[in-house]
Amino acid sequence: MRLTREKLSGHGLAVVAAAALLALTGCGGSGGGGAKSDSAGQVPATATGSLEDLAAEVKCKPDIQTDADEIRQAICKNTDGKFVLATFATDRGQREWINDAKDYGGFYLVGAKWVAVADQKVVTALRGTLGGDMEVGTDHSQHSSHSG
């Protein structure tokens, strides 16, 4: 299989983000409460590098899903669990992606032009290696009834 690099529009990035989140968290998101603090309270310096560099840091072999000029995205799995790892060409592109994706819930570990998305347990574990800042998506579980 040959990957091609393509250019995604802002809407295309939002669709990619939504698909990745739904694959990991489902419509209801995580059943957990608010974000927990790290047990040791110490977070390493935020990692930098390519998608492959970051994946190697957390000992996963990335399954590349998107290889475009603006975003590279992979599904990863390691001993902590399954997560989406994405790298971005620009800070602005990263922030737009996160802002769109957060509407779908989930937990986000945010670094310099990269983000990891998973459930709270996995993101907390990844933070112990990659550093970064945790962000939490919107919880729509209270709106799960779709009756008319």
- The answer to whether residue 2 is domain-embedded is no
Q: For the chain, what is the domain count?
A: 1
- Look up residue 127 and give its two tokens: 């933070």
- Cα-trace Rg, the chain: 15
- The answer to whether residue 109 is domain-embedded is yes
- The answer to whether residue 1 is domain-embedded is no
- The answer to whether residue 115 is domain-embedded is yes
75-113 burial code (b ≥16 CB/10 A, e <16): bbebebeebbbbbbeeeebbebbbebbbebbbbbbbbeb
SS3 101: helix
pLDDT digits (tens, 9 = 90+) for 76-102: 999 999 999 999 999 999 999 999 999
- The answer to whether residue 8 is domain-embedded is no
* pLDDT exceeds cutoff 70 at 72: yes
- The answer to whether residue 37 is domain-embedded is no
Q: 78 with 58: CB under 8 angstroms?
A: yes
pLDDT digits (tens, 9 = 90+) for 130-145: 999 999 998 756 555 5
pTM beyond 0.75, yes or no: no
- The answer to whether residue 6 is domain-embedded is no
Host domain of residue 79? 51-136
- Residue with the bigger pLDDT between 59 and 5: it is 59
- The answer to whether residue 95 is domain-embedded is yes
Residue 130 CB burial class (10 angstroms; 0-12, 13-18, ≥19): buried
Q: 21 with 79: CB under 8 angstroms?
A: no
